Structure 1
Amino acid sequence: MSTPAHAALLDAVRRHAQAHADTDGIARTPIPGLTTVRATAPSDLVYAISRPLACLVLQGGKQVTMGARSFAFAAGDSLLITADVPTVSQITRASLAAPYLSLVLELDAAVIADLAAEMKTVLVTDSAPVRVDQTEAEVADAALRLMRLLDRPASVPVLQAQLVREMHYWLLAGRHGTAIRRLGWPNGHVQRVARAVALLRAEFARPLPVDRLAAAAGMSPSAFHQHFRAATSLSPLQFQKQLRLIEAKRLMLSEGASASSAAFAVGFASVSQFTRDYGRLFGLPPVRDTAAARNQPKRPTGSSAERRSRLTPA
């Protein structure tokens, strides 16, 4: 996508990211759910349980893997994630001269439900939770107008809601529509599983009996297991374990926690079990991972930020 609108959106995202990005390249905006991302070097692999989002890539390139499927995308492409699914991502093309730049919008299930009802759309149940396609002109145009609000702060509280709604509308009306509709289906399996996912994210360090999670979803334990795995590709126990391991890695690499203190902080009762599970997920035992991090200079802005804060609302 090389059009005047794309160039204008790229410039708006670049300016905001340069002015506001943190050390990970994440620059939140005053518009809830809208974030810009900047990276000046290729990143390491980033493990996350991603939240539903749309990511418009404006410069550079990235790869995301879910299960056995990998998706490579670059400027002019959009990544869509429509469920809380485990992903491994890596920024593959970025430099000081041409940073990786993207705009991320969290998908709002309430907005989707309202729009889907007005549009009288039909539910499709077999859509893949991760998709990549070209960014449609209407989506990019709505995104540009959202970014332009930031230059006029007084306009943000007045106009942000209708422009966020419009961007959701064009996503629903476009190529990604069938996948997005599942998020807003009233009391559908995806929304019911999402209630259990919210509980897991909030209390991942505590023991969470399946009966309690199933009750949160309004399902029997057997139906809950089936629909949870269908929505997330993981069992509830595997989901909680990945949340714990991802947070433990953050504690060790970002806050200097020891492997044992990180293990206990995220809810592991055994350091040896933590070490085994950590190695299976990340490919290195925690001690080697922290040692490697200490011996290498921190990348300026290399982290993937489509994950936002991994354990808080994205």
Structure 2
Amino acid sequence: MAESQSEFASLIDRYAKADGVHATPIPRVFLVRSARPTLPLHTLYEPAVCIIAQGRKQAILGDAVYVYDRDKYLVISVDVPVVGQIIDASEAAPYLCLRLDLDVATLGTLLLDAGPAPSGLAPAPALSLSSVTPELIGAVLRLLRLLDTPGDIPVLAPLAEREILFRLLRGDQTAKLREIALGDSKLRQINRAIGLIKENYRETFRIEDLSDVARMSASALHSHFKSVTAMSPLQFQKQLRLQEARRLMLQGLCDAATASHSVGYTSPSQFSREYRRLFGLPPQRDIARLKTFPDGFIAA
């Protein structure tokens, strides 16, 4: 296991030379590197599995704190706003992580032979941790070694990805992965509501519209939505708005007033209050602070 972990870190180090999130020629596979701890980052996590080769990170969803390292991997089941922070990294031993975005179609084909799943179960929180196994690391290595032979990627990468997902399904993530893949699960119903909010986050929505999309009652939607995301639909929308406004200002695309209007706020004072409540500082001071810590923006 120690030898495999060493090779895992070496492969990421070879193909992710600079700090940041790096796409690879392998579909849905990203490599992450940071040579120092980062600021807490409010960001939107998408369905994925994150496996660390070196270093340590924490993700906060509501009141729950998920700390993961090379012994624990993180699974994300739906798009959800979280606070992420790399807490163990250095120039000598940088944070190194592989992120594999989850493909629903691939998961679905693997589940066809797995037999019927229990129905009607309440969805679990969007984030969960599991122990890394030698079999999982072996599958990850077979995937990453393909970066040395790009011509093999189209044929062999799908096989290695399926093996990784198979290893996850053989562990204690079976129920969560079933929820992600199966169209009639409560999680997929909540995910449809999340999709509607994401597509129309600038607009005011009615809870009835979300209920219709999710195909559940308003009370069930509220209950299951909070179980998964640790927030209400309105709080979810607010975080999306404020994160997008922050991104626009940080990139220098507009000032606070323009950013607030562009994400759907009609009151600049309300925007400023809610921005400070989420990020801890008024917009102008927050952006000035962030520009002095560019490495804080490493999302995976």
Q: Please say whether Structure 1 and Structure 2 have the same fold, judged by a TM-score greater than 0.5.
A: yes
Distance 1:223 1:71, change over 3 A: closer
- Aligned partner of 2:72 in structure 1 is 77
1:260 partnered with 2:257: yes
Distance 1:225 1:131, change over 3 A: closer
- Aligned partner of 2:94 in structure 1 is 99
Gapped regions of structure 1 (runs ≥ 5):
307-314
Distance 2:290 2:41 in 1: 14
Q: 2:28 aligns with which of 23, 30, 33?
A: 33
Distance 1:122 1:303, change over 3 A: same
1:244 positional shift: 0.7
Q: 2:143 aligns with which of 135, 141, 146?
A: 146
- Aligned partner of 1:11 in structure 2 is 10
Distance 1:13 1:121, change over 3 A: farther
Root mean square deviation of aligned Cα: 2.1
1:112 positional shift: 2.4
- Aligned partner of 1:310 in structure 2 is none
1:118 positional shift: 1.1
Distance 1:214 1:179 in 2: 22
Q: Which moved more, 1:55-64 or 1:104-113?
A: 104-113
Distance 1:269 1:164 in 2: 46
Secondary structure of the equivalent of 2:84? strand
Distance 1:57 1:83, change over 3 A: same
Q: 1:210 aligns with which of 201, 207, 211?
A: 207
Q: How many pairs does the alignment contain?
A: 298
Distance 2:33 2:15 in 1: 10
Matches within 5 A, 1:50-61: 50-61=45-56
Distance 1:125 1:181 in 2: 13
Distance 2:175 2:46 in 1: 18
Aligned-pair identity in percent equals 37
Q: 1:190 aligns with which of 187, 191, 202?
A: 187
Secondary structure of the equivalent of 1:11? helix
- Aligned partner of 2:283 in structure 1 is 286
- Aligned partner of 1:223 in structure 2 is 220
- Aligned partner of 1:304 in structure 2 is 298
- Aligned partner of 1:312 in structure 2 is none
Q: 1:269 aligns with which of 246, 266, 269?
A: 266
Distance 1:115 1:138 in 2: 17
Contact 1:193 1:228 in 2 (8 A): yes
Distance 2:63 2:183 in 1: 30
1:146 positional shift: 1.2
- Aligned partner of 1:176 in structure 2 is 173
1:91 positional shift: 0.5
Contact 2:41 2:299 in 1 (8 A): no
1:242 positional shift: 0.6
Contact 1:25 1:302 in 2 (8 A): no
Contact 2:59 2:65 in 1 (8 A): yes
Contact 1:38 1:100 in 2 (8 A): yes
CA deviations on 1:104-145 (whole Å, 9 max, x unpaired) are: 111223322332231126346464432223311222111111
- Aligned partner of 1:116 in structure 2 is 111
Distance 1:202 1:30, change over 3 A: farther
Normalising by structure 2, report the TM-score. 0.91
Letter of the 2:155 partner, please give it: V
Gapped regions of structure 2 (runs ≥ 5):
none
CA deviations on 1:59-81 (whole Å, 9 max, x unpaired) are: 11112222222122223321222
Contact 1:47 1:246 in 2 (8 A): yes
1:201 positional shift: 1.9
Contact 2:84 2:299 in 1 (8 A): no
Q: Which moved more, 1:75-84 or 1:6-15?
A: 75-84
Secondary structure of the equivalent of 1:118? coil
Distance 2:224 2:114 in 1: 26
Secondary structure of the equivalent of 2:129? strand
1:13 positional shift: 1.1
Distance 1:128 1:206 in 2: 26
Contact 1:82 1:180 in 2 (8 A): yes
